[in-house]
Amino acid sequence: MDGVSPRLSDPYMAFSRDGTGQNGRPRRTNKHRPRPGPITNRMENDHDCGDGMTTHTFPALGLEPITCQPWCEASDGHPNQRLREDQCCFGPEHRVPLSKEPDELFGEASTEQQYLNTYLMRLVDDKAARIFIGYNEAPGRPATPDEARRFALEILALVDGLEA
């Protein structure tokens, strides 16, 4: 094969920008695929006058506050969030300690009792609140009110079955 490794024979394989292939050999050219230009050592703009790179700091754009839910802990419309999807309402967290589980070990030898947790949440563009169901700090899942009610009833049915 004309001096190029068979694994590099595909013209769409990645090659280095200096004109050599991945194995250091000259790469094949493909007249239908333009070669990338050289990498420059620094970026230039119209304001640096050739003395160096100019950096700009742009102020954070303020978001329009949202209308918070009556149960939202922040209750301020979340105007200081950087992204609209971060403007979420969260209600107070409710924890149920798991008394038969061992304490969870954290850094610096601190421990905490493991727990189940739940709270109300509403994402910015959601029409209705959801009920978050979680375990410790692990990612839980948000459920619709109907799903949370069905889950609660399933738990109660299991507990009632044990007590019967």
Q: Residue 103: its pLDDT value, please?
A: 87
Q: Kindly indicate the confidence band of residue 107, based on its pLDDT and cuts at 50, 70 and 90.
A: confident
pLDDT in tens, 4-58: 444 444 333 333 334 444 434 444 454 454 554 444 444 445 555 555 556 555 5
- The answer to whether the beta carbons of residues 15 and 28 sit under 8 Å apart is no
Element holding 156 (H helix, E strand) = helix 145-163
Bridge partners, residue 119, by sequence: 132
In this prediction, what percent of the chain has a pLDDT beyond 70? 63
Q: Residue 19: its pLDDT value, please?
A: 43
Q: Kindly indicate the confidence band of residue 112, based on its pLDDT and cuts at 50, 70 and 90.
A: confident
Q: Kindly indicate the confidence band of residue 102, based on its pLDDT and cuts at 50, 70 and 90.
A: confident
Q: What is the mean pLDDT of residues 101-120?
A: 86
Q: Kindly indicate the confidence band of residue 84, based on its pLDDT and cuts at 50, 70 and 90.
A: confident
- The answer to whether the beta carbons of residues 141 and 121 sit under 8 Å apart is no
- The answer to whether the beta carbons of residues 83 and 101 sit under 8 Å apart is no
Does residue 89 register a pLDDT over 90?
yes
Q: Kindly indicate the confidence band of residue 1, based on its pLDDT and cuts at 50, 70 and 90.
A: very low
Does residue 93 register a pLDDT over 90?
yes
Q: What is the mean pLDDT of residues 95-101?
A: 93
Q: Which residue has the tokens 């979680």?
A: 134
